[in-house]
A and B are shown apart, each in its own frame.
Chain A
Amino acid sequence: MITRLSAQIVKELLSYLRDPRSRLTLVAPPLVQLLVFSFAATLEVENVELAVLDQDNGYWSHEMIQQLEAASFVSGIRFVQSPDQLTALIDRRDVLAALRFPQDFSRDVARGRPAAAQAVIDGRRAYAGQVTLAYLNQVAANVGAGIHAGTTVPPAAVRHWFNPNLVYQWFIVPSLSGLLAMLIALIVTGLSIARERELGTFDQLLVSPARPIEIIIGKTVPALIIGTLLASVMISAGIFLFRIPFTGSIFWLLAAVMLFILSMVGIGLVISSICQTQQQAILGVFSIAVPVVLLSGFVTPVENMSEFLQLVARVNPLTYYLEIVRGSFLKSLPPSEVLENAWPMALIALVTLSSAIVIVKRKLQ
């Protein structure tokens, strides 16, 4: 039985790696994507284009503009002469925000009255707009501090643990390792049985002495190897290429990677064993992959979601894996915490893989 099983595993592995096109699509795109997305997926706000309508032309408006020109989040300031021009720039999305200094702005400051500059912000980009507004407020506070020199002690001393400078890549690269390896594992297994069924080779498999459990193991092991290798390469890229501090245990992380891939392989095999054609299988993979990505906290935090969706996120293997991989990189996650997040993945893997065996067995009869 062992030789039969290993022959099956080798055969499955070869079916992915023999064809140069599929070999290439397994390895190249995820790595390219890791590089591109790790730079692209940022919720930081930088390179903001601003417009300024200075109807004041006084000391304090010039002071603010100077500070804005020097601010790191601003890439350029466009000066306009009329409210119409300002409107046009916002409409065309040329600028994210526009500041208007009213005529008596500096006079108000000089008289000790609170002075207000108006900020018009593009609500189509409300998120970046809110962050920009916070920056603008900071600049205003700084300039204002120059007016009343003296008591400007910040109300709170802030420290960011694990990532003192809040580098966004430290967050996104570990997460991408899980996401991209998961997509590959899901597609590889999701299509495997369905393809054999479509091509008719599944019937041959059924008349062979292989038992359902062997068929499932034969399909699981190659996908597990490919997925784990890919995730390991990306984790290494995080450590050596992106120089993200790795503070946890590599051993526990690798164990978690394998459990995570195993749970996704289980989901993929269930889809595949139900579907009759590859097209149905892809549809199935897709209907699973998108919610898994969206409900994992990869794009936006789980706690922002409604309570029902938070419950759904708890049966999502990616949620747990992200917790482990981020923790292993930055938080020196203790093994007890790794286990805490690992057992749900193990449970999902167990349930899905055994369901796949049952379904295949049923088709056998």
Chain B
Amino acid sequence: MSSKPATAGFSARRLSALVRKESLQVVRDPSAMLIAFALPVLLLFLFAYAVSLDVKGVRLGVVLESDTAAAQSLAAAFAATRYFEILPARDRREVAPRLVASEIRGFVVIPQDFERRLRSRTEPLIQVVTDGSQPNTANFVAGYAEGVVSSWLVARGGARNAGVMPLRIEPRFWFNPEIETRRFLIPGAIAIVMTMIGTMLTALVVAREWERGTMEAVMSTPAGIVEILAGKLAPYFGLGIVATLGCALISILLFDVPLRGSWAALLLLSCSFLVPALGQGLLISTLARNQFVAAQIALLSGFLPALLLSGFIFEIDSMPAIIRVVTYIIPARHFVSSLQTVFLAGNVWSVFLPSILAMLAIGSVFLGITARKSRKSLDT
């Protein structure tokens, strides 16, 4: 009776009974409800406020070696921008140790012969030193410091000397004209949050059942493996959808992210994403069969790749070719680009369809392996 009925076909009644049983189990488990509802909100707020690519208030040392009016006025120009917080100094030896201690991210030196350099314009006017140990901030400091000097030159009426650019680029940022990084980070953050819920939650809950032996108990019933897995996934699928829609509502209402596509498309994308996310969790729990190992693998194969390889923060196009290929098997990668599109751009089906297909394909692979592994274990 134990192994034969695994192939005994599909029964809708049995399935609905299983779904009911599993759903009750989930709803009665306070920690599952906590993971599904409290954690997403907490995480979304964290991602919204803690992850910011908008640089502002960078601490910068300004070493004034010259006392002329022009030098003073350039130093004032540095103090006036909102991008920098200025630490004035007289000697570069005062600021260099602070750069080592990360108290400042860079310093500019307005040299003694500033007046002469300003007249001749054959040498750079000032020196900019940045903290290269933080490459991104270093680039920013260099770029904006140059910008401050250029616009100071223009404002001084030395426009001809500064050289008006004969060729200009007129930029227009589509979908996000204010260039708010939060607008594109938040849709990505929803994908990270859902990865954690889908993968973590299923991995843990099912691993616990293996650990306690209740999984074997369910398997010894006439229910087939497909029915058991479907029954296990259904409630988490429901939780996942509710959590996604909750996250979307928070993004729109609290974080001012527009939803330019339709809710239907958002729902379809979320459903497609939950298949590989839940599948991955189920696969992890089936392979690990122990909560400790399952948590470990879920964190390392679910959360970190979703954070680093999904294009959420780090641009996939900039990665080496091999890693760009690896990103295609990360479900979150497909979800992130679709979410950014559905929120900011609208219903672009030429983006959605390949993503949906990819997510479903990854999901079927995970579920297929899970089904095989589970069946084997019954025979032994």
Q: Give A residues with C-beta under 8 Å from B.
A: 19, 21-22, 25-26, 29-30, 33, 36-37, 39-49, 60, 64, 75, 90-93, 96, 99, 109, 112, 114-130, 133-134, 136-137, 140-141, 143-144, 147-148, 151-164, 166-168, 170-171, 183-184, 187, 191, 195, 277-280, 282-283, 285-287, 289-291, 293-295, 299-301, 303-306, 309, 323, 326-327, 329-334, 337, 340
A153 to chain B: which residues have CB within 8 Å?
121-124
Chain B residue nearest to A301 (CB atoms) is B137
B138 at the interface (CB under 8 A from A): yes
B214 to chain A: which residues have CB within 8 Å?
none
B49–A143 touching, CB < 8 Å: no
B128 at the interface (CB under 8 A from A): yes
A158–B102 touching, CB < 8 Å: no
B59 to chain A: which residues have CB within 8 Å?
303
B93 to chain A: which residues have CB within 8 Å?
none
A93–B351 touching, CB < 8 Å: yes
**A22-B293, A25-B296, A117-B167 are contacts. A163–B314 as well, Cβ < 8 Å?**
no
Given contacts A153-B124, A191-B291, A294-B46, 16 further A-B contacts (CB under 8 A): A36-B309, A40-B309, A40-B327, A48-B317, A96-B317, A114-B165, A117-B169, A118-B170, A119-B172, A123-B184, A126-B176, A126-B183, A129-B179, A136-B169, A161-B130, A187-B299
A126–B135 touching, CB < 8 Å: no
Q: Name the interface residues of B84-99: CB closer than 8 Å to any CB of A.
A: 99
**A29-B297, A124-B176, A156-B124 are contacts. A114–B166 as well, Cβ < 8 Å?**
yes
Chain B residue nearest to A121 (CB atoms) is B173
> Which one of B61-69, B233-241, B338-346, B366-374 contacts A?
B338-346
A278–B167 touching, CB < 8 Å: no
Chain B residue nearest to A297 (CB atoms) is B134
Q: State the 3 A-B residue pairs at the shortest beta-carbon distance, nearest first.
A: A123-B176, A163-B132, A160-B132
B71 at the interface (CB under 8 A from A): no
B50–A42 touching, CB < 8 Å: no
A121–B172 touching, CB < 8 Å: yes
A309–B50 touching, CB < 8 Å: yes
**A91-B348, A117-B169 are contacts. A160–B138 as well, Cβ < 8 Å?**
yes
B51–A123 touching, CB < 8 Å: no
B271 at the interface (CB under 8 A from A): no
B216 at the interface (CB under 8 A from A): no
State how many angstroms separate the Cβ of B97 from the closest Cβ of chain A: 9
Chain B residue nearest to A96 (CB atoms) is B317
Residue of B134, B161, B303 touching A171 (CB-CB under 8 A): B134
B290 at the interface (CB under 8 A from A): yes
Chain A residue nearest to B182 (CB atoms) is A126
B133–A326 touching, CB < 8 Å: yes
B125 at the interface (CB under 8 A from A): yes
B24 at the interface (CB under 8 A from A): no
B43 to chain A: which residues have CB within 8 Å?
290
> Which one of B140-148, B218-226, B247-255 contacts A?
B140-148
A294–B51 touching, CB < 8 Å: yes
B39–A287 touching, CB < 8 Å: yes
A337 to chain B: which residues have CB within 8 Å?
100-101
**A154-B124, A162-B131, A286-B196 are contacts. A116–B170 as well, Cβ < 8 Å?**
yes
> Could you pull out 9 A-B pairs where Cβ atoms are within 8 angstroms?
A21-B288, A44-B135, A64-B167, A153-B123, A171-B135, A191-B291, A279-B291, A282-B295, A289-B299
State how many angstroms separate the Cβ of A186 from the closest Cβ of chain B: 9
The answer for the CA separation of A170 and B134 in the assembled complex, in Å, is 9
A115–B167 touching, CB < 8 Å: yes
A158–B128 touching, CB < 8 Å: yes
B299–A121 touching, CB < 8 Å: no
> Which one of B1-9, B12-20, B274-282, B318-326 contacts A?
B318-326
B34 to chain A: which residues have CB within 8 Å?
283
**A92-B350, A279-B31, A301-B134 are contacts. A115–B166 as well, Cβ < 8 Å?**
yes
Chain B residue nearest to A26 (CB atoms) is B296
B291 to chain A: which residues have CB within 8 Å?
191, 195, 278-279, 282
A123–B170 touching, CB < 8 Å: no
B35 at the interface (CB under 8 A from A): yes
Residue of B126, B184, B290 touching A126 (CB-CB under 8 A): B184
